[in-house]
Amino acid sequence: KYIPFDYSRSVPWQYIFLNLLMKFLVQIIVWPKVVNSKALKSKGPHVIAILHQTHYDGPLVYYAVNRYFRFVSTALYFDRIPFMWKVGIIPVKRYTVDFLAMKRIIETIRNGFDIGIAPEAARTWDGEPICIRKEIWKLLRKLNIPVIPVKFYGIQRLWPRWSNRIRLGRATIEFGDPVSPEDQHFEEKIKGFLTKPDPTFELPYRDYRGIEKLLWRCPKCGTIGSIRSAKHAFYCDKCGKKYVKPTVNEVIALHKKIRPDYMPVKFPVSDTVLLNNKKVSGQIYEDRMKLGNLVIEFDKLRTSSIERNEENIFGTPNELIRFIPETSPLMWKEIVDYQIRFVLGNENFHTYYWDLSR
């Protein structure tokens, strides 16, 4: 009789292979430095809570951690990367309550193994921390094990979310001291560690190609879709404003400047989107959006996210609406999120770009 491998109880050989491979590759690509690794020597299990910035995050954690742990990741990637199963990663279905994933997490903890979680449940686009849902804080408390926060330095400028290009450089991974859920300053200590300033944010990016996904309109004239990027600069083809090697912090400031809470949006906003494998026109209005003949009222929406850096997913109580916009998925998310949460005043709509707890 076939007995399936129990990843919550035993260490798979694929994990050992991956761990050794990462220890080799990471040294070549980002020349890593590990700070306060002694935090990992405390008796477990723990939650390893990372500030999710880039695709370098996972390899850096595998490089620095010498014992078996299980990352929690969106189930979306498991069909495309079956190897994720083999190394013990726990898939979680989005937009629903995943009881099976919760069972796997609890069983792993009961067997003394660590769990790796990105509390924000998404990568940051510009390097700024995005807010953590109150449900995640409840989960971390209910797991009732110490949380080790993990902070990365130097990786945002090498491989930001808006870029498809990998750049070499130096990176640092720092582990915070374990924080008990019973600590009355539990959330403040974890947030404080994850939001520590990164000195490398005062340096320029290694490559600016693709930044139009982040800066979906010109910070000076406000024209949508007018930014054009090159390796060391980007410019607006409408007003001619050029930015040469701005630092990470300067790009963060430019991104804040174009967001709907700083720069008003002129409706309707028009775009072309790929919906059900067909190109159709798309428009965003003050209280609804239109995709071809499909009209979605904002008061029907409950969730929004971006997958693979290109696809918008908006959820209603009955369905998920998925499409790929031509301009920028971040444009759609930021405008729609802002309209629902702040203009229409839906307090139950979660948006991780505006931390209301600050």
- Number of compact structural domains in the chain: 3
Domain membership flag for residue 6: no
Residue 68 lies in a domain: yes
Within the chain, strands assigned E span: 32-35, 47-50, 69-74, 90-92, 114-117, 147-153, 171-175, 227-229, 233-236, 242-244, 269-275, 278-284, 288-291, 294-297, 303-307, 311-315, 320-325
In a domain, 246, yes or no: yes
Please state, for a pLDDT cut of 70, what percent of the chain lies above it.
97
CA neighbor of 303 nearest in space, from 285, 286, 290, 316: 316
Residue 207 makes CB contacts below 8 A (sequence gap 6+) with: 163, 165, 167, 231, 232
Q: Give the torsion sign (CA, 236, 242, 245, 251).
A: negative
Same domain for 81 and 221, yes or no, is: no
CB contact set of 90 (below 8 Å; sequence gap of 6+): 70, 71, 72, 73, 101, 104, 105, 108, 115
* CA neighbor of 298 nearest in space, from 279, 310, 283: 283
Q: Are residues 288 and 182 in the same domain?
A: no
Q: Which of the listed residues 162, 184, 202 is the one where a domain comes to its end?
A: 202
Same domain, 146 and 25: yes
Cis status of the peptide bond prior to 268, with omega within 30 of 0: yes
Mean pLDDT of 161-186: 94
Same domain, residue pair 252 and 319? no
Beta strands 171-175; 32-35: pairing state = parallel
Amino acid identity, position 327: T
Look at residue 86 and tell me if it is in a domain.
yes
Q: What is the DSSP letter of 341?
A: I
Tell me if 351 is assigned to some domain: no
Distance CA 327, CA 321 (A): 18
3-state helix, strand, coil split of the chain in percent (to 5) is 30, 25, 45
> Do 25 and 172 have their domain in common?
yes
Q: How confident is the model at residue 353 (pLDDT cuts 50, 70, 90)?
A: low
Q: Which residue has the tokens 């582990």?
A: 175
In a domain, 3, yes or no: no
pLDDT band at 352 (very low <50, low <70, confident <90, very high): low
Of 62, 157, 154, 75, whose CA–CA distance to 114 is shortest?
62
Three-class DSSP category at 294: strand
Spatial contact of 47 and 148, defined as CB atoms under 8 Å apart: yes
Q: Backbone phi, then psi, for 86, in 5-degree steps?
A: -65, -25
Percentage above 90 pLDDT, the chain: 78
241 and 278 housed in the same domain: no
Q: Is the pLDDT of residue 159 over 60?
A: yes
Q: In terms of domains, do 165 and 191 share one?
A: yes
Same domain? For 140 and 32 the reply is yes
253 and 282 co-located in one domain:
no
Q: How confident is the model at residue 98 (pLDDT cuts 50, 70, 90)?
A: confident
Confidence category of residue 76, pLDDT binned at 50, 70, 90: confident
List, in sequence order, every beta strand (DSSP E) within 104-179: 114-117, 147-153, 171-175
pTM of the model: 0.92
Residue 348 lies in a domain: no
Measured CA to CA, the distance from residue 236 to residue 221 in angstroms comes to 9
Expressed as residue numbers, the domain containing 232 is 211-258
The domain spanning residue 329 has which CATH number? 2.30.29.30
94: nearest Cα among 334, 356, 303: 303
Q: Are residues 226 and 88 in the same domain?
A: no
pLDDT in tens, 238-293: 999 999 999 999 999 999 999 999 999 999 999 999 999 999 999 999 999 999 99
pLDDT tens for 136-151 read 899 999 999 999 999 9
**Are 240 and 145 in a shared domain?**
no
DSSP-assigned beta bridge partners for residue 306: 312
* Domain identity same for 248 and 156: no
Beta strands 233-236 and 227-229: pairing type? antiparallel
